[in-house]
Chains A and B, each alone.
Chain A
Amino acid sequence: MLSGFGLVFVAVVVAWLAAFRPRAHVERSPAEERRFSLRWILGGGIVLPGVSILALLVFGVPTGQRMLPVTLPGETPPQVIEVVGHQWWWEIRYPGEQGDVVTANHLVMPAGEPVEFHVTSADVIHAFWVPRLGGKIDMLPGRTNRIRLEADEPGVFGAQCAEFCGVQHTHMHLHVEALPREEYEVWLDARRSPLPEDEAHAQARQDFIQHCAGCHRVAGLSDGERGPDLSDIGSRATLGAGVMAMEEGAIARWLATHQSLKPGNRMPSHDDLEDETLERLGAWLENLTP
């Protein structure tokens, strides 16, 4: 398509330049002039765009059809993953019979098979887009849009909110990881089993219940829904929807300075908490890997 359009472009520009070229004026009779211009206007103004349009429609429309989220009778329905946009993070839900597995900003999907994403938004309009896997789809409050994507090979793909969604639109990245089917199952099962009791971090858990539980969920501990689910935060690649890489001490640093790392994000500043508390919380959260 690109080369075809390039050719048309070059041809038109060359024709124009040629028309400006100093040349001997050819005297034509009015009838000749009429024939000459009619030929050019019909050829360039009607036939050229007409043929291109028909070609594009005939080839282009069926391409879009293949991305339709339709399961015909006899086909196995694909894996469904729900994605909910928030200002400015992603909630990922894996529906299951014993309840959903919920995570945030880190999407794991099976490779080598179509996956159907059901997307919506909790606040403003966002758009779900994994550039290397296909087209984008808007995430609208009050509606659920569906799109089918397929990762041919296992791998890691970047994704970013594509619809302007406010001041931190820039920092709304999503880390997408495609795993072979078996590894995907293992990954999902690990998140279905309850987190082990961890005596070493008893104080941190207390702090969490006191300061964080109103907004954040950790499986088996709290049910806050305003912020990202933190049940497996230790296993994620980034913090703050792509603001910083997850490494040792990263969470404590994020907690202390997140309003300058990602100004305007919805988490209140934690100036009132002592550094010690933040570090304790960080150390525990980094350990939350199923």
Chain B
Amino acid sequence: MLHRELELAWGSPAGLRGMLTVVNHGTLGLRFMVTGLVFFLLGGVLAMLVRTQLAFPDQDFMSPDVYSQVTTMHGTVMMFLFAIPVLEGLAIYLIPKMIGTRDLACPRLTAFGYWCYLFGGIILFSSLLLDMAPDSGWFMYTPLSSGEYSPGSGSDFWLLGITFVEISALSAGVELTVSILRTRASGMALHRMPLFAWYILAMALMIVVGFPPLILGSVLLELERAVGMPFFAVAGGGDPVLWQHLFWLFGHPEVYIIFLPAAGIVSTLIPVFAGRPMVGYGWIVASILITGFISFGLWVHHMFTVGIPQLAQAFFSAASMLVAVPTAIQVFVWLTTLWLGRPRMTLPMLWVLGFLVIFVCGGLTGVMLALVPFNWQVHDTHFVVAHMHYVLVGGMFFPLMAGLYYWLPLVTGRMPSESLGRLGFWLTFSGFNLTFLIMHWTGLLGMPRRIASYESAMGWDIYNLISSVGGFMMSAGIAVVLLDLALHGRFGRLAPRNPWCADTLEWAVATPPTSYTFASLPQVTSRHPLWEFPQLGESIRLGEHERAGAPHGRRELLGTDPLTGRVREIIHLPGNSVWPLAAALVLAVVCISLLVRLYPLALVAFVVAACMLLRWSWENGAHASATPLGDNEPSDPALHSRTPDGPGRWTMGVALLADGAFFLSLLFGWCYLWTVSPQWRMPDVSPLSLPMMIASGLALTLAASWLGRRCRAIVAGREEGLARAFAGIAALGGVHLLLLLTLAVQAALAPTDSAHDAVLWVGLAYLLVHATLATVLMLLQARRAALGLVSARLPFEPGVVLLFWRYHTGAYWILVAAIGVLPRVLGANA
């Protein structure tokens, strides 16, 4: 009865229609993981091609050209199409269940992210089949990846495909952050949150801050390749080292974005299999936060040979060593927990043990690499390749396998087989060590990375052969694991409820989980709800807790206070929607038309995609297809769209954090080129008219403060003349936009001639896009106010738009100061 009612509200229509419009985190989380595993297998095949090539000296199994494509794609696929999406998928699947809610806060964004990932991945991987794959290495250093030295489409595939895939990472980052902060179970205060949620919170925020630098880098490099703006070309005043900074500013945090969720898996499993709570919850939380921050201060250790002053290198060297501290804390917290508990050696724990051995080794070689003189010797050799695989395979793949085996009974309701699983583990573990332990020596003997063949005289033969044999052994191990997974779904023993005697809420849902996850929403009073109340799952199913069922037909969950977990509002979620798929498809058209250089089509498709996203946002709040105003609405707590502060405001806030990271990266690029670029040319007189900038900024500031006053008035219950006021604000926004446009036209920039003008051009384009979006959003608000979708009873949306306006105002003045005022103050020759 309860089940049927909830299924009616939460389920998807049968057939293809349901499959394409589904927005449920369970389905999409699984899709993320399965797609990621497919890309993992493809990337693994590429790795085996590489090991075949290097097994013997002087091989020409692949031509150097194909070899470069294969190594580049192996790294790219494993990093961008496997590691990040799979972990995101795991988080998307588990987080709502673990924090005791029914779905993520922005379900349509989940679907949009998945489609972007799928289409981006297909576009990127298709390049290999077309023999046009990127071949400049997965780090895409310019000038090698520039139009001059990589004239084919390979680099474009990489830049556009990866940017497309990153939209999905950012969507997941934003919504996971908001979900963890605002939709936890009632009573789940910050210090009662499962550790896994802390890890995912850190990962999500790191994605939000860490990915934008690479997106900016990719945009700049694509602009350089497509139209010749010399951001990285020395002759035009650019600097190739800027790319390295932007890439590693993303690239190093990325390693921890991958490691943190994996460590989260370990931190979830260890208390369960030790049969006791984690001994140092606070220590772990502190370690997570430390790792999250310090990992942004290490990027230069990938660039120790670039020729940066030694003192600056020493800062990064010390910071790189410092990051060993939080990791060591975690290792010893885990150890102590096991020591004080009664450990059970199950299959998932075997993978955890494998993780520990490999990861500790990788961490130690990492500390060695942080030492500058040692780094100069082994940088870009196979030693680094070995280190990196110890950290990434040990730090991500092994915990992931532990997690897969651990949560498999939750997904399928069946237990994995111990015997086949153990064989798979030992083959993978020994194969891995055979491959990569030996590789440390190959590197110390001087074998550089990314060479397609070597001579017998170098004395590297036997080591390479052993590595290749080990590589194939590891593949066999993974094949056995896959076989085990496939067989278990059919022949595995049925799993009892909570088979591992775990403590966290995901084991209180039905196995396999239903579309609505929880029939009623439990209240949490400790860190270990299932150890405290082993029968919680049953009482949830019987609807004995809050918000049981869905008599109103809405998808509802509880919005709670980020700190205390006190219930603040009832969040109503949108149902299935075709817009995420449609928007992602049109974005794929944008991506492909940029690839084949049909720029007018790309522009049209971009506008269409923007309209679709706005259409999607239209079906919100009190819209007829969302949650129209009714008489029997709950008032305490109220529906979120009837309050001034719902999750949407938080989503906007976190998204603006990403936007801000992008903006700061752009400012960094400006300051960097200005001070360091070898042939930077600054015009004597700034081409930007200062009065025009100030006039445009005043219009913007006026509009933003008007909007702020209007928002306060709505919350206070005053709604007269709302539509007209909003239209007025939009008109002021239009004035700002027009003045900005005039400024850009008057400046007569020559962005293809000098890096200076190119950066100004990008800065102005950034402001123009934001100004347009702010104005359009305000126009839509005016329309919604006229339709009665925004009013004193519905005060939610203007607050969200206000955040965007305030951000744009701040960014505008900062950019004006940086590109308009600072050069005038310091003079052109500074």
A residues in contact with B329, CB < 8 Å: 41, 45-46
B318 an interface residue at 8 Å Cβ cutoff? Answer: yes
A170 to B361, CA, bound (A): 29
- A13 and B240 contact, CB distance less than 8 A: no
Q: Scan residues 108-164 of chain A and give those whose CB is less than 8 A from a CB of chain B.
A: 123-125, 127, 129, 131, 134-138, 140-143, 145-146, 158, 160-164
Question: In the complex, which residues of chain A have a beta carbon less than 8 angstroms from the beta carbon of B65?
Answer: 167, 263-264
Provide the residues of chain B in CB contact with A45, threshold 8 Å.
283, 325, 328-333
Stretch of A58-66, A73-81, A179-187, A273-281 that contacts chain B: A58-66
On chain B, the residues within 8 Å of A63 by CB distance are 373
Inter-chain contacts of B450 with A (CB < 8 A): 164, 169
Q: Which residue of B lies closest to A66 (CB)?
A: B373
Q: Are A20 and B307 in contact (CB under 8 A)?
A: no
Q: A1-45: which have CB < 8 Å to B? A: 1-2, 5, 8-9, 12-13, 15-17, 19-20, 25, 28, 33, 36-37, 40-41, 43-45
On whether the beta carbons of B336 and A37 are closer than 8 Å, the reply is: yes
- Would you call B380 an interface residue if the criterion is a C-beta within 8 Å of the partner chain's C-beta atoms? yes
Q: Is the CB of A138 within 8 A of B368?
A: no
Q: Which residues on the A side are within 8 Å of B335 (C-beta)?
A: 12, 15-16, 19, 40, 44
- Are B342 and A25 closer than 8 Å at their CB atoms? yes
From residue A82, how far is it (CB to closest CB) to chain B in Å?
15
Assess whether A170 is in contact with B453, with CB atoms less than 8 Å apart: yes
Residues of B within 8 A of A16 (CB): 335, 338, 353, 356-357
Question: B376 in the interface, Cβ–Cβ < 8 Å?
Answer: yes
Chain B residues near A52: list those with CB within 8 A.
321, 324, 367
Tell me if A33 and B340 are in contact (CB < 8 A).
yes
- Nearest A residue to B329, CB-CB: A45
- In the assembled complex, the CB of B641 is this many whole angstroms from the nearest CB of chain A, namely 46
Most A CB within 10 A of own CB, among B143, B349, B679: B143
- Does B713 sit at the interface, judged by CB under 8 A? no
CB distance from B408 to the nearest CB of A (A): 22
User: Are A162 and B373 in contact, with the CB atoms below 8 A?
Assistant: no
Task: Give chain B residues whose Cβ lies under 8 Å from the Cβ of A137.
Answer: 305, 307, 376
Least CB separation from A132: chain B residue: B446
Q: Is B310 in contact with A36, judged by CB distance below 8 angstroms? A: no
Q: Number of A interface residues, CB 8 Å?
A: 69
Contact between A170 and B452, CB atoms less than 8 A apart: yes
Is there a chain A Cβ closer than 8 Å to B68's Cβ? Answer: yes
> Smallest CB–CB gap between A128 and chain B, Å?
9
CA distance A53 to B318 in the complex (A): 8
A72: Cβ under 8 A from any B Cβ: no
**Across the interface, which residues of B come within 8 angstroms of A20, CB to CB?**
338, 343, 345, 349, 353
Asked if A166 is at the interface (CB within 8 A of a chain B CB), the reply is: yes
Besides A45-B330, A135-B379, A137-B376, 12 more A-B contacts (Cβ < 8 Å) are A12-B360, A43-B332, A46-B329, A48-B328, A50-B325, A53-B322, A60-B372, A61-B317, A123-B149, A138-B307, A164-B380, A166-B144
A215 contacts chain B at the CB level, 8 A cutoff: no
A79 to B333, CA, bound (A): 55
Q: Chain B nearest CB: distance from A127 CB in Å? A: 6
Chain A to chain B: the 6 pairs with minimum beta-carbon distance, closest first: A135-B376, A142-B234, A45-B329, A44-B332, A145-B307, A19-B338
B647 to chain A, nearest CB (A): 36
The docked-state distance in angstroms from the alpha carbon of A61 to that of B449 is 26
Give bound CA distance, A130 to B798, whole Å: 64
Query: Is the C-beta of B525 less than 8 angstroms from some C-beta in chain A?
Result: no
Instruction: Give the contacting residue for B328; candidates A44, A61, A129; CB below 8 A.
Output: A44
A230-246, CB < 8 A from B: none
Check A8/B364 contact, CB under 8 A, given A20-B343, A63-B373.
Answer: yes
Q: In whole angstroms, how far apart are the Cα atoms of A237 and B317 in the complex?
A: 39
Which B residues lie within 8 Å of A124 (CB)?
141, 143-144, 149
Q: How far is the CA of A263 from the CA of B426 in the complex (A)?
A: 42
Which residue on A lies nearest to B453, using beta carbons? A170
Inter-chain CA distance A143–B678, complex, in Å, is 7
Q: Which B residues lie at the A interface, using CB under 8 A? A: 63-65, 68, 135-137, 141, 143-144, 149, 234, 239-241, 279-280, 283, 305-307, 310, 313-314, 317-318, 321-322, 324-325, 328-333, 335-340, 342-343, 345, 349, 353, 356-357, 360-361, 364-365, 367-368, 370-377, 379-381, 446, 448-454, 458, 678-679
Q: How far is the CA of A235 from the CA of B401 in the complex (A)?
A: 58
B380 touches A162 (CB 8 A): yes
**B143 touches which of A2, A17, A125 (Cβ 8 Å):** A125
Please name all residues of chain B whose beta carbon is closer than 8 Å to the beta carbon of A143 when the two chains form the complex.
Answer: 307, 678
- Determine which residue in B307, B452, B458 has the highest number of CB atoms from chain A within 10 A of its CB, and name it: B307
Given A8-B364, A19-B339, A170-B453, A53 contacting B144 (CB threshold 8 A): no
Return the chain A residue nearest B371 by Cβ.
A60
Which of A37, A127, A170 contacts B279 (CB under 8 A)? A37
Interface SS of chain B: helix
- A67 at interface by CB-CB < 8 Å: yes
Closest Cβ neighbor of A65 among chain B residues: B310
Whether A200 sits at the interface, judged by CB under 8 Å, is no
List A residues at the B interface (Cβ < 8 Å): 1-2, 5, 8-9, 12-13, 15-17, 19-20, 25, 28, 33, 36-37, 40-41, 43-46, 48-50, 52-53, 56-57, 60-61, 63-65, 67-68, 87, 123-125, 127, 129, 131, 134-138, 140-143, 145-146, 158, 160-170, 263-264
| B336 and A264 contacting across the interface, CB-CB below 8 Å | no
| Structural contact, A67 and B64, CB atoms closer than 8 A | no
Tell me, rounded to whole Å, the shortest Cβ–Cβ distance linking A140 to chain B.
6
- Supply 30 A–B pairs (Cβ within 8 Å), ascending by A: A12-B335, A33-B340, A41-B332, A41-B333, A44-B328, A45-B283, A45-B331, A46-B328, A56-B371, A60-B372, A61-B314, A64-B376, A124-B144, A125-B141, A125-B144, A129-B448, A134-B377, A135-B305, A137-B305, A138-B305, A140-B241, A140-B306, A142-B678, A142-B679, A145-B306, A162-B380, A163-B305, A166-B136, A166-B144, A167-B135
Cβ-defined contact, B68 with A161, below 8 A:
no
Name the CB-closest residue of B to A126: B144
Chain A residues with CB under 8 Å of B364's CB are: 5, 8-9
B contact residues around A49 at 8 Å (CB):
321, 324-325, 328
Contacts of B307 in A (CB 8 A): 137-138, 140, 143, 145-146
A66 CA to B447 CA, complexed, in Å: 25
How many angstroms between the C-alpha atoms of A164 and B385 in the bound complex?
13
Residues in chain B near residue A2, CB distance under 8 A: 368
Minimum distance in angstroms from A232 CB to a CB of chain B = 24
Please determine whether A170 and B141 come into contact, CB atoms closer than 8 angstroms: no
Chain B residue contacts of A1, Cβ below 8 A: 368, 371, 374
In the complex, how many angstroms separate the beta carbon of B320 from the nearest chain A beta carbon?
10
Interchain nearest-CB distance for B364 vs A (Å)? 4
Find A87's partner among B149, B310, B328 (CB 8 Å cutoff). B149
**Cα–Cα distance between A1 and B454 once the two chains are bound (Å):** 29
Which residue in chain A gives the minimum CB-CB distance to B381?
A162
CB distance from B798 to the nearest CB of A (A): 48
A143 to B370, CA, bound (A): 25
Contact B234 A141 (CB under 8 A): yes
Which B residues are in CB contact (< 8 Å) with A134?
Answer: 376-377
CA distance A16 to B349 in the complex (A): 12
What separation, in Å, do the CA atoms of A128 and B454 have in the docked complex? Answer: 18
Cβ–Cβ contact B332 & A40, under 8 A: yes
Give the residue name and chain of the A residue nearest to B337 (CB). Answer: A37
Across the interface, which residues of B come within 8 angstroms of A15, CB to CB? 335
On whether the beta carbons of A57 and B332 are closer than 8 Å, the reply is no
Partner of A12, one of B143, B331, B333: B331
Residues of B within 8 A of A164 (CB): 136-137, 141, 144, 380, 449-450
CA distance A56 to B345 in the complex (A): 37
Note all chain A residues with C-beta closer than 8 A to B367: 5, 52-53, 56
Kindly state the separation between the CA atoms of A168 and B450 in the bound complex, as whole angstroms: 10
Residue in contact with A57 in the complex, picked from B321, B365, B376, CB distance below 8 Å: B321
> Please, which residues of chain A bring their CB within 8 A of the CB of B356?
12-13, 16
**C-alpha gap A161/B804 in the complex (Å):** 49
Residues of A within 8 A of B325 (CB): 45-46, 49-50, 53
Q: Which residue of B lies closest to A242 (CB)?
A: B455
